[in-house]
């Protein structure tokens, strides 16, 4: 039988907690600078940084600044709605994948929209072709903004005129 935690051992926040909207374990998000349609993302509280799958990633220099050019394929196993993007690199970050592999990835800072909430996040770029989601949304992006309910999905409908890829293709 488990003993209740004594009051003296409980963590109590000194700040007044602000009500935060819930996210499910997967959500539709919009990346207005990177994709013409919303992307299905997995909320990954085990990852600090958000990661986007980038096809044909290349680096170059423009006016003394580092830039990255890549393709975004928002629909899994499809080139539908793919977009060629060039973006300034904010820096490089060493990231360890869930398989234990460590790599240095370019980081960009881009706007994201989830439901009615819009803000900027850091996104690392890598090849995620073997994964089930084109993007992982990490702790840094959701910290102090959202709470996560791991038993629910798609709690935030797309807010703009952009439709989810399935809506455009199937008319649903």
> Which segment of 10-14, 50-54, 129-133, 135-139 scores lowest on mean pLDDT?
10-14
Give 77-123 pLDDT, tens digit per residue: 777 888 999 999 999 999 887 778 888 999 999 999 998 899 999 99
**Sign (positive/negative) of CA torsion 28, 31, 93, 140?**
negative
Looking at residue 12, what is its pLDDT? 46
Q: Is residue 122 within 8 Å of 140, Cβ to Cβ? A: yes
Percent of the chain with pLDDT over 90: 60
Whole-angstrom distance, CA of residue 103 vs CA of residue 126? 9
The arithmetic mean of pLDDT across residues 38-63, rounded, is 94
Q: Bigger pLDDT: 100 or 27?
A: 27
Q: Is residue 50 within 8 Å of 73, Cβ to Cβ? A: no
Looking at residue 167, what is its pLDDT? 46
Question: Does 132 have pLDDT greater than 60?
Answer: yes
**Sign (positive/negative) of CA torsion 155, 161, 165, 167?**
positive
What residue spans define the domains of the chain? 20-170
Banded model confidence at residue 166, pLDDT cuts 50, 70, 90: low
Check: CATH 3.50.50.60 for 20-170?
no
Q: Where are the beta strands (DSSP E) in 10-54?
A: 22-24, 26-29, 39-43, 50-53
């Amino acid at each position: 039988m488990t003993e209740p935690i004594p009051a003296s051992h409980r963590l109590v926040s000194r700040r007044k907690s602000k009500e935060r909207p819930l996210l499910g374990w997967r959500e539709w998000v919009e990346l207005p600078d990177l994709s013409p349609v919303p992307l299905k993302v997995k909320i990954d509280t085990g990852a600090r940084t958000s990661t986007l799958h980038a096809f044909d990633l290349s680096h170059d220099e423009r006016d003394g600044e580092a830039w990255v050019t890549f393709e975004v394929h928002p629909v899994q196993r499809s080139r539908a709605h793919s977009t060629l993007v060039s973006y300034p690199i904010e820096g490089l970050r060493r990231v360890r994948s869930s398989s234990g592999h460590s790599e240095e990835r370019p980081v960009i800072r881009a706007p994201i929209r989830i439901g009615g909430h819009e803000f900027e996040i850091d996104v690392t770029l890598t090849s995620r072709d073997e994964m089930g989601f084109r993007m992982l949304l990490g702790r840094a992006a959701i910290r102090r903004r959202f709470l996560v309910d791991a038993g629910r999905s798609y709690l935030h409908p797309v807010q703009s005129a952009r439709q989810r890829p399935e809506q455009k293709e199937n008319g649903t």
